[in-house]
Amino acid sequence: QKEVEQDPGPLSVPEGAIVSLNCTYSNSAFQYFMWYRQYSRKGPELLMYTYSSGNKEDGRFTAQVDKSSKYISLFIRDSQPSDSATYLCAMSVNNDMRFGAGTRLTVKP
Amino acid sequence: DAGVIQSPRHEVTEMGQEVTLRCKPISGHDYLFWYRQTMMRGLELLIYFNNNVPIDDSGMPEDRFSAKMPNASFSTLKIQPSEPRDSAVYFCASSSLARTRDAHEQFFGPGTRLTVL
């Protein structure tokens, strides 16, 4: 079993839809939970991060962490074509980072 | 700031040849990470440095892979000899513990796309 599981998709939605992306993990020691966005042929860039359980909102993006279920989510409201990218969940403890496989999202105009 | 700089952007080589990938981290960052990304395995951490010292190289796949960081502004990842299964995109990332309690906010370079024929 991988430490971090993420459905690779692909996921295709119409513009304006609400997108839900999810990851599960097995290592209960993880403390920081991140979402990175990667455009085609670019390096990943940090989108959001949370420490321990809870919710965090930033504009159209909301990150949720449920440590009891070892489950994290990213919600995108009013999705735009510019949101089309691969979204990678990541989690870390003591500077050791583990990434999910990434979910490829396409938002169609 | 120019961000993390990697060179070359693309490398095509033949099996058995030595390959050297280069990285210049963001000035002032004290952590440097090397990753490999493939469709099959996703993004994998190979090795990371703190203040130029290798901390964890457990992700380095084989002895054919080696990494150095001679100073705070330069690191190399070397593959010798290269094999077709090494074909992947190699990313370098850097971060600063001074910004966060954990080096989770990593800034990635554009990557080097390596093809071994």
Min Cα distance B41 → chain A (Å) is 7
Residue A13 has pLDDT above 70, yes or no: yes
Picking from A31-35, A94-98, B46-50, which range would have the lowest pLDDT averaged per residue?
Answer: A94-98
Distance (Å, whole) CA B64 – CA B12: 18
Mutate to test the interface with A, among B101, B106, B112, B113 (most CBs of A within 10 A): B106
In this predicted structure, the answer to whether residue B98 has a pLDDT above a threshold of 70 is: no
| Max mean pLDDT range (A63-67, B56-60, B74-78) | B74-78
Task: Please tell me the predicted confidence (pLDDT) of residue B82.
Answer: 96
Strand partners, A16: none
Cβ-nearest to A95 among B103, B107, B110: B103
3-state SS, residue B65:
strand
Give the pLDDT score at A44: 95
pLDDT of A100 strictly over 70:
yes
Mean per-residue pLDDT over chain B, rounded: 92
Contact B104, B94 (CB under 8 A): no
Predicted local confidence at residue B100, as pLDDT = 55
Percentage with pLDDT > 70 across chain B: 93
Chain A residues close to B33, C-beta within 8 Å: 97
Asked if the model's pLDDT at residue A3 lies above 90, the reply is: no
CA–CA gap between residue B106 and residue B95 (Å, rounded): 5
- Mean pLDDT across B21-25: 98
Question: Which residue, among A87, A99, A86, A75, has the nearest Cα to A27 in the 3D structure?
Answer: A99
pLDDT band at B42 (very low <50, low <70, confident <90, very high): confident
**DSSP bridge pairs for B40:** none
pLDDT digits (tens, 9 = 90+) for A27-84: 999 988 999 999 999 999 999 988 878 899 999 999 999 999 999 999 999 999 999 9
